[in-house]
């Protein structure tokens, strides 16, 4: 199945977790990919895996801090130039930080917003002209189950994910008549680097997190679970899906 043959895709957060899994899924389906991440070592791992798969000829990597406006402007321009256009943007870059809300500093709050919410905005703003030029561009943003369900100690993270959902709805409506689709995935109970150590406070009441177990399967799912859904949404199989979010959590929040 080569749903992305001839398609150009830019994926942030491509050095680890769901972002990396999405890079390999799109490559496996014939796409040309620029994988961006702030972590150069992570990107090297992504490239090594692609070389082992024989897909590295269609992969370019770029070190990029999505919270830096100048870096985003240059990074998106470089990606579009190297690909020869842009069909899909996947905004997978993000950070998860935890704290008691009454102990959350403004610096802590702003750091989470800068990467997750502002980073999504900056990447999308810079990519929009190229996405619109093709007449059927797609933006896939990353929300989370925390946007709609209580995840204690993660108020800043949850706020960014709720904001990303609203932002996605807004651009889906604004650019629909120009052929753009914008959708969100809302993962939960996914085994990725982000969830291995969310940095919970030492005195966190873990009973408040008991409901974060999936109803199906044998525990948290791998990041490839989300990558497969992203591939569907970003391909022509998702052509009638826009302005919405899709929860991927194994029934954790039924």
Residues with a catalytic annotation lie at: 157
Q: How many whole angstroms separate alpha carbon 185 and alpha carbon 180?
A: 17
Written as six digits, the tokens of 128 are 């929009």
Using CB atoms within 10 Å of the CB of residue 231, give its burial: 0 to 12 exposed, 13 to 18 middle, 19+ buried.
buried
Written as six digits, the tokens of 232 are 């569907």
**Contact at 8 Å (CB) between 95 and 147?**
no
Q: How many whole angstroms separate alpha carbon 104 and alpha carbon 88?
A: 35
Q: Residue 29 contacts by C-beta under 8 Å, 6 or more apart in sequence? A: 1, 2, 3, 4, 5, 231, 235
Give the helix, strand, coil percentages of the chain, each rounded to 5: 50, 15, 35
């Amino acid at each position: 199945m080569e749903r992305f043959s001839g398609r150009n895709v830019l994926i942030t957060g491509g050095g680890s977790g769901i972002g990396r899994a999405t890079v390999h899924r799109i490559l496996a389906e014939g796409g040309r990919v620029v994988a961006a991440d702030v972590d150069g070592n992570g990107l090297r791992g992504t490239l090594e895996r692609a070389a082992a798969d024989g897909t590295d000829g269609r992969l370019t990597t770029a070190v990029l801090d999505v919270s830096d406006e100048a870096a985003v402007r240059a990074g998106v321009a470089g990606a579009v130039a190297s690909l020869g256009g842009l069909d899909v943007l996947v905004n997978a870059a993000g950070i998860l930080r935890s704290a008691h809300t009454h102990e959350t500093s403004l610096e802590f709050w702003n750091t989470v917003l800068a990467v997750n919410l502002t980073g999504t905005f900056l990447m999308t703003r810079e990519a929009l002209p190229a996405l619109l030029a093709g007449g059927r561009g797609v933006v896939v943003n990353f929300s989370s189950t925390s946007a709609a369900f209580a995840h204690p100690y993660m108020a800043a993270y949850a706020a960014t994910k709720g904001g990303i959902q609203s932002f996605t709805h807004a651009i889906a409506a604004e650019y629909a008549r120009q052929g753009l689709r914008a959708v969100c995935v809302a993962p939960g109970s996914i085994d990725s680097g982000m969830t291995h150590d969310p940095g919970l406070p030492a005195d966190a009441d873990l009973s408040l997190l008991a409901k974060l177990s999936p109803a199906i399967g044998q525990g948290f799912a791998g990041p490839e679970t989300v990558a497969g859904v992203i591939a569907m949404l970003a391909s022509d199989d998702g052509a009638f899906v826009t302005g919405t979010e899709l929860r991927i959590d194994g029934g954790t929040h039924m």
